[in-house]
Structure 1
Amino acid sequence: MSNVGRRGAATPRELARVGDRLSFIYLERCVVHRNDNAITAEDAEGVTHIPSATIGTLLLGPGTRITHQAMSVLGDSGAGVVWVGEHGVRFYAGGRALTRSSGLVEAQATAWANLRTRLDVARAMYRLRFPGEDPAGRTRQELLSMEGRRVKECYHSEATRTGVPWRRREFHRDDFAAADPPNQAVTAAAQCMYGIAHAVVAAIGCSPGLGFVHSGHERSFVLDVADLYKTEVAIPAAFDAAAEGPEDVAARTRRALRERINKRRLLDRCVQDIKGLLRYEEAETEGSADRVSLQSDHGAEVEAGRNYDSEIIW
C-alpha cells in the first residue's frame, strides 16, 4: 500500500523542474514515438529527438499521430500534452505531477472550500494581474468589472502600439477563420497559455478544476492561472503577430508567445505565483519519495502498509 503510484523511471529530484523547461513545443504532420527517455518526431524530412523531461507542454497539431510508448514517457516526465485543432481552438491535455506530495493540492482545496479564503485568493489574483489597483474589499462583481475594463484597455493600447485595427473581441468556437486576424491571434495565444498553465498545474500537483475566479469547469484553475499573464504576455504577443500580416497568424503568434515566455522565465514564475497565492511553503524533504499515510482521528496520521485491526491510534 505504501508503494501506491511508484514510478521506476525517475524521481522528482532527477526530473527537470517545470520552471527550467521549454515552455511548449508545437508539432504537426508527423509521427511521435519514443526512444529511451526521449520522444522522436518523424516526418518527410527525417527524425528529430526531443528529451521528454525538458518539455513543459507538447502541442500536437493537425496530422500528428502519437504512440502509447511516447505518451507513457511524457506522462512519467510530467509534461502536458495538448491536442489542438486546425487553428488551435480545440483543446485536450494530460500530465502527471512531478511531486509525490499532496501538500499543494490540499492547500488549494483548503483555500477553495471556504468562501472567505476563496475570495481572498481571487483578490490576490487580481492584485497580481493589475498592480495599479487595490482589490481589497472588492466584491466579486466589482472584481469582474475591473477585469473587463482593464482587458478592454489592454486591447486598445496594444492596437495603438502596433497599428493593428481593432473593433472588439470576437471568438467563434466552431469557425476560427470567421474572426479577423487580430482576434485569431488572441485566440491562438489564449489556447497556448491554457496548455502551458495546465502543464504547470498538473506538474506541481494542483487540481485543474478548483478555481478561484472561474468555476464550474474541469479546468477552472487552469483558466485562473492563464489569465494572470493575459495582459502582460498573451495579448501583446498576439498583436505583435497580427501586425506582421494576416497570413499564418496563428503560427506567428505561437512563435512570438514562446519567445516572450522563455525570455521572462514564465514557467518558473508561474510555479512561484501559484505557491504564493495558496500561501504554500514546501518542506525541505517533501516530494522526495512516495509517501502514503492513513488518516486517523483528531488529525493524526499513521503509517500505511499495515493492518491496525482493533488498535486505537490517538
Structure 2
Amino acid sequence: MNALPGARPPDPKALVRVRDRLTFLYVERCVVHRDSNAITVTDSRGVAHVPAAALSVLMMGPGVRITHSAVSLLAESGSTAVWVGENGVRYYAHGSPPSRSSRLLEAQARAVSDPAMRLSVARRMYLMRFRGENVAALSMQQLRGREGARVRRLYRENARRTGVEWDRREYDPDDFESGSVVNKCLSAANSALYGVIHAVVVALGCSPGLGFVHTGNYRSFVYDIADLYKADLSIPVAFDVASEDFEAGVGEETRRRMRDAIRQERILERSVRDIKDLLSAAIEGDVEEDDLDVDDVRLWEDEATSVPAGISYSTRDER
C-alpha cells in the first residue's frame, strides 16, 4: 500500500502544550503563509515570522488571505485558526486542531446530560468567582442573581477606579462603532478572551457548545469558562483603555493589552487546569495532559465498557 501523500504530521508529544503557548495573534489586511515551521504574516511593512507550534490561536480579521500550506501547518501544530470581523468582535468560524482523545468530551457530555451533575458543575463555576462563599444550596436562579449583582458591582468599582463614566453594558453586535468607548473596549476585550478560551476548549477535545451555565449556542462552554476570568482580565483592561485618550484604535489597543494580561495571568495554564477540575467528577480515572494526545480508537462493549479497535472479533466459525 502506498503511503499517504503529503508531509507527515509531527508527533503530538513533541508539540508545545497548550497551557505553555503564546496567547493569541490578531492579524488583518495581510497575507498569511508558511516558511518551514513558522507562520509568516506579510503586509506593506514587511514580513513577520511566528513559530506555529508556540501559538495558541490565530485570529484573522478583514482583508486576510491565507494559503493552504499555512492552514496545514496550523493544524499539524495544534493551533486554532479563527476568522473574525473587524476589530475582532464578530466571530465567523474556526478550524479546530485534531482532538486525539475523547475522554474529556465524554465526561463533559455525561455531566451536561445529568441534571444533578450539571448543577454541581455550575455551582463549582460560581464558587470560583464567589471565593469563600457557600453556594452548595443555591439554585441556578439564585446563582444567576448573585452573579448579576457581582458583575454590576465590578463595573461600578472599575468606573470609580479609572474615572470612566459608566451607565450600563450596552452594545450593538451589528454596529461596533455605535457604542460608547468603554462598551467598545469591553466588547473587544471579551472577544479576545473568547478566542483564547475557544482554542483551549477544542485543544482539550471538549465541545464548545455543551455549556453548564450557558446553553443554546455553539460557544456555550466557551462563555462558561471565559466568565471565570472576566473580573481579573477583560473588565479592568477595558476600563483602563477607556480611561486614556484614544481618539481611534481602542479595539486594537484593548486586544494588545488583553494579549499581555492573558500571558501575565497564565490564563492558558489556568483554564486547562480549571476545565479538568470542573469535569473531574465525570471523568473515569485521572487524566494527564499527555493522555489527551493519545489516538486510542476503541469500540463500544456492553454495559458502557469498551474494547480496542483494529482487531477482528469474529469467531473461527464466522470467518
Fold shared per TM-score above 0.5:
yes
| Corresponding residue number in structure 2 for 1:168 | 168
Q: CA deviation at 1:98?
A: 6.5
* Percent identical: 50
Query: Which structure has the higher relative contact order (CA within 8 Å, separation 6+)?
Result: 1
Q: Residue in 2 aligned with 1:296?
A: 301
Change (3 A) 1:89 1:283: closer
Residues of 1 paired with 2:293 and 2:102: CA distance? 12
Tell me the SS of whatever aligns to 1:287.
Answer: helix
Counterpart Cα distance in 1 of 2:164 and 2:50:
36
- More divergent stretch after superposition (207-216 vs 10-19): 10-19
Q: How far is the alpha carbon of 1:156 from its aligned partner?
A: 0.7
Q: Does 1:182 align with 2:187?
A: no
Per the alignment, residue 155 of structure 2 pairs with 155
Amino acid corresponding to residue 139 of structure 1 in structure 2: S
Aligned to 2:4: none
- For the residues of structure 2 that align with 1:217 and 1:58, how far apart are their CA atoms? 22
2:3 is aligned to: none
Give the structure 1 partner of residue 257 of structure 2.
Answer: 256
SS at the partner of 1:42? Answer: strand
The CA deviation string for residues 251-272 of structure 1, in whole angstroms up to 9 with x for no partner, is 1111111111111111001100
Q: Deviations over 1:236-287 (max 9, x none)?
A: 0111111112421111111111111111111001100000111153158623
Q: Deviations over 1:69-96 (max 9, x none)?
A: 2112112222222222123221134244
1:240 corresponding residue in structure 2: 240
CA distance in 2, matches of 1:76, 1:92: 22
Q: Equivalences for 1:139-150 in 2 at 5 Å? A: 139-150=139-150
Q: Residue 311 of structure 2 corresponds to which residue in structure 1?
A: 306
Tell me which residue corresponds to 2:194: 194
Pair 285,227 (structure 1): closer, same or farther in 2 beyond 3 Å: closer
* Aligned partners of 2:59 and 2:88 also within 8 Å: no
SS in 1 for 2:209: coil
2:13 — aligned with what? 13
CA distance in 1, matches of 2:57, 2:219: 16
Give 2:102's aligned residue: 102
Deviation at 1:36, TM superposition (A): 2.1
Change (3 A) 1:132 1:251: farther
Supply the AA of the counterpart residue of 1:78. Answer: G
Is 2:268 aligned against 1:267?
yes
Query: Aligned partners of 2:289, 2:199: CA distance in 1, in Å?
Result: 23
Unaligned runs of 5+ in 2: 1-6
Deviation at 1:52, TM superposition (A): 0.7
Matches within 5 A, 1:22-37: 22-37=22-37
| CA 102–152 in structure 1, closer or farther in 2 if over 3 Å, else same | same
Shift of 1:115: 0.3
The residue that corresponds to 1:125 in the other structure is: 125
**TM-score scaled by length of structure 2:** 0.91
Q: Relative to structure 1, is the Cα distance of residues 219 and 288 closer, same or farther in structure 2, using a 3 angstrom cutoff?
A: closer
Relative to structure 2, which stretch is displaced further, 58-67 or 294-303? 294-303
The SS at the match of 2:172 is: coil
- Correspondence list, 1:206-245, <5 A: 206-245=206-245
Report deviation, 1:97. 4.5
Q: What RMSD over aligned residues (CA atoms) do the two structures have, in Å? A: 1.9
Amino acid at match of 1:111: A
Letter of the aligned partner of 1:254 in structure 2? R
Code of the residue aligned with 2:272 in structure 1: it is: V
1:153-184 per-residue CA deviation (whole Å, 9 max, x = no partner) reads: 00110011111111110120111111100000
Q: Contact 2:172 / 2:178 at 8 angstroms: preserved in 1?
A: yes
- Over 3 Å counting, the alpha-carbon distance change for 1:196 and 1:269 in structure 2 is same
Contact 2:99 2:202 in 1 (8 A): no
Which amino acid letter does the alignment assign opposite residue 299 of structure 1? A
Q: How far is the alpha carbon of 1:306 from its aligned partner?
A: 3.0
Q: 1:66 Cα shift?
A: 1.1
